[in-house]
Chains A and B, each alone.
Chain A
Amino acid sequence: MKRIFLVSIIILSIGATATRAQERELHAGVSESGFSPIRLALPDFTNRSDATPVEAATHDLLRVLWNDLDFNGYFRLVERGYYDLVPENRTNGIPFDDWTSIGADYLLLGEIDLEGQRLLVESRLYDTEHSQMIFGKRYRSEPDVWRTVSHRLADDIVLHFTGRRGISQSKIVYSARKGEGKEIFVMDYDGAHQQQITQNGSLNLFPTWSPDGEQIAFTSYLEGWPRLYVLDRDGKQSRPLPGWEGELTAAPEWSPDGRWLAFAANRDGNSEIYKMKISSGRLVRLTHHRAIDSSPSWSPTGREIAFTSDRGGRPQIYVMDAEGLNVRRVTFEGNYNDLAAWSPQGDKIAYAGRDRTFDIFVLDLATEAVQRLTFGPGNNESPRWSSDGLHLVFTSSRGGDNALYIMDAAGGRLRQIGPPHGAEGPDWSR
């Protein structure tokens, strides 16, 4: 995956009359819950070449694109069964009325060809009601990175409609059982390209992405005691952070500016929250309490940190400012709430709450309303947000063994991704 993704993009044309009001309406719609999704038809791309790599890519590329657009939450894809009702393109062009009649407000068409040794993907988006093209892009790539083309196209379409960066090119890092230990793995957000990036046979836990997606911090027992390490995204270079032999250091979290790591450490007989400046190793202690303080999560501004503490008797979520002052409790329902994950927009905190088993909850910080997103079975924990704030990845034992699942921020579109057994502790790249 380190191969440079060479893709050239040419904006073919932009429909001049795509109304700005219409786009604003769409944009406003998606920021609310219960918005009406964009109704899009996505028929098979046309294969312009009989070369084998194109044949293989045509089907797979569309499948991945369909999955991306279906999952991201902005679209409702018109069922493929209706596409047969639309006649082939006539001499006078695309039969927009027929597409409209099966419920497609928008239509995405694509062609795939081979240009020399490279894959050429050309895609055009049409507004069927106004019978006009509103977006068009051409992508060139090595044939074996067609999947990346799909994700890029999906994100470009999302950007066009919403003005937001999509999540189709994002990655998920996680810890998975391997032999006697647990190793760190990276995969695409849809579960493809699973890649093991540690190979030390020890316990490797709690991986988290740096904000730029270039590095991963995690806890490893490599030297016999839990210590923090930073690893390149491809696993090639790893370095330990300053540590203290035998002392617990766990669950590192990057500050939004990438300069600090917050983590839980035991330096004097009790677990407290610390932050360390990565460049200098300077250590700042943030909590001072006899209770267990663990699992820090930065607010997107970097000004506050959410964490777990049992200072009230049972584990609950607290918030403090990034210097450790102004500690306040934010969860009050339930008697065991843990693993806070601050949303990228800053308005919500997802966490795991226990009632016999763990489920995922979301706290709205402005209204203090709590929404429960999962209802078992098994334990559902370690929620992490996608960068658009519309999705969560988490660990669930609903299938018997721990595996990773993704869902939208209202608890819908649940699906298992990655290895079916022994995966846990995910983090979603920005």
Chain B
Amino acid sequence: MRNLFNVVLAASLLLALPAFVSCKAKPSSPGPGPAPSVEMETEDVTETPAPSPRRPTEMESERIESSLSAEAYNRENVLKTVYFDFDRSNIKDEYKAALRQNASWIKEHTEFSVMIEGNCDERGTNEYNLSLGDRRANSTKQYLTSLGVPANRLRTISYGEERPAVRQHNESAWSKNRRAEFRIVDR
């Protein structure tokens, strides 16, 4: 497109040149001839059309991206899930790096809040697991606030054993279900 404009511009200038010369030659006769109209056309091409179709497009595409991004970020799993030992809610060393990354992402993206969802495997009772999931969500929240994430941007909820990630009944499934997940939400 830019090349095409350059070609048009060059062509217009070439066309305009004799007229310009002739104008200089006869300055006292502005006249209604074709020459001035050619000059005006040249200005139209260089200034108005070139930016006008491009700038609004760029602005629109940015606005669409920002309105979808909580969902989009969730789909991309930008915040990493952390896992727990059976009947425990302490943050294991192996997940501290992931939580540091989560913390810096949350601190950078001030336009969002984050819901921390505590979950359990099926082996405890539903009632106790609701409290245990709650405690996992809160210990995760505490770790993030200790890394400087403002507490008012973090909320917690427990689903106990009601929302398993893997619906199977073995240790492999259970270890994937004992977790705290992060859901990015608009503030």
Interchain Cβ contacts within 8 Å, total number: 77
> With a CB–CB cut-off of 8 A, which chain A residues contact B155?
246
CB distance from B95 to the nearest CB of A (A): 20
> With a CB–CB cut-off of 8 A, which chain A residues contact B158?
226, 248
Q: A246-B155, A246-B156, A246-B157 are in contact. Are A269 and B138 (CB under 8 A)?
A: yes
Contact B138 A339 (CB under 8 A): no
Query: Per a CB cutoff under 8 Å, which of A206, A246, A271 touches B135?
Result: A271
User: Main secondary structure on chain A at its contact with chain B?
Assistant: strand
Contact A264 B127 (CB under 8 A): yes
Residue of B nearest to A266 (CB): B134
Contact A248 B125 (CB under 8 A): no
With an 8 A cutoff between CB atoms, is A338 at the interface?
A: yes
Query: Per a CB cutoff under 8 Å, which of A206, A246, A264, A338 touches B124?
Result: A338
> With a CB–CB cut-off of 8 A, which chain A residues contact B159?
203
Q: A203-B162, A314-B87 are in contact. Are A270 and B135 (CB under 8 A)?
A: yes
> With a CB–CB cut-off of 8 A, which chain B residues contact A354?
123-124
With an 8 A cutoff between CB atoms, is B12 at the interface?
A: no
> With a CB–CB cut-off of 8 A, which chain B residues contact A379?
123
A393, B131: Cα distance in complex, Å: 24
Contact B126 A425 (CB under 8 A): yes
Interface string of B95-135 (1 = CB under 8 A from A): 00000000000000000000000000001111110111011
A308, B135: Cα distance in complex, Å: 15
Q: Which of A182, A206, A271 has the most CB of B within 10 A?
A: A271
Q: A203-B162, A225-B157, A292-B132 are in contact. Are A250 and B138 (CB under 8 A)?
A: no
Query: Per a CB cutoff under 8 Å, which of A206, A266, A270 touches B127?
Result: A206
> With a CB–CB cut-off of 8 A, which chain B residues contact A358?
125
Q: Which of B87, B131, B158 has the most CB of A within 10 A?
A: B131
Q: A225-B157, A250-B130 are in contact. Are A338 and B135 (CB under 8 A)?
A: no
Contact B157 A294 (CB under 8 A): no
Interface string of B146-158 (1 = CB under 8 A from A): 0000000001111
With an 8 A cutoff between CB atoms, is A169 at the interface?
A: no
Contact A250 B131 (CB under 8 A): yes
> With a CB–CB cut-off of 8 A, which chain A residues contact B123?
354, 379
CB distance from A192 to the nearest CB of B (A): 26
> With a CB–CB cut-off of 8 A, which chain A residues contact B131?
248, 250, 264, 266, 271, 292-294
Query: Per a CB cutoff under 8 Å, which of A251, A270, A310, A382 touches B138?
Result: A270
Query: Per a CB cutoff under 8 Å, which of B87, B128, B156, B162 touches A308?
Result: B128
With an 8 A cutoff between CB atoms, is A427 at the interface?
A: no
Residue of B nearest to A249 (CB): B130
Interface string of A253-272 (1 = CB under 8 A from B): 00000000000101001110
Q: Which of A205, A292, A381 has the most CB of B within 10 A?
A: A292
A308, B87: Cα distance in complex, Å: 14
Q: A226-B158, A271-B135, A292-B135 are in contact. Are A205 and B125 (CB under 8 A)?
A: no
CB distance from A222 to the nearest CB of B (A): 13
Interface string of A317-357 (1 = CB under 8 A from B): 00000000000000000001011000000000000101000
Residue of B nearest to A313 (CB): B87
Interface string of A218-258 (1 = CB under 8 A from B): 00000011100000000000000000001010110000000
With an 8 A cutoff between CB atoms, is A418 at the interface?
A: no
> With a CB–CB cut-off of 8 A, which chain B residues contact A182?
162
Contact B130 A381 (CB under 8 A): no
A310, B126: Cα distance in complex, Å: 15
A352, B157: Cα distance in complex, Å: 25
A338, B125: Cα distance in complex, Å: 7
> With a CB–CB cut-off of 8 A, which chain B residues contact A271?
131, 134-135
Give 20 new A-B contacts, CB below 8 A, not counting A225-B157, A292-B131, A295-B127: A203-B162, A224-B157, A226-B158, A246-B155, A246-B157, A270-B135, A271-B131, A271-B134, A294-B130, A294-B131, A310-B87, A336-B87, A338-B124, A338-B127, A339-B127, A339-B128, A352-B125, A358-B125, A424-B126, A425-B126
A and B contact pairs by CB, cutoff 8 A, 24 listed: A203-B162, A205-B126, A205-B130, A206-B127, A225-B157, A246-B156, A248-B131, A248-B134, A248-B157, A248-B158, A250-B130, A251-B127, A264-B130, A266-B131, A270-B138, A292-B135, A294-B127, A294-B130, A294-B131, A295-B127, A315-B128, A336-B87, A352-B125, A358-B125
Q: Closest 5 A-B residue pairs measured CB to CB?
A: A271-B131, A292-B131, A294-B131, A295-B127, A338-B125
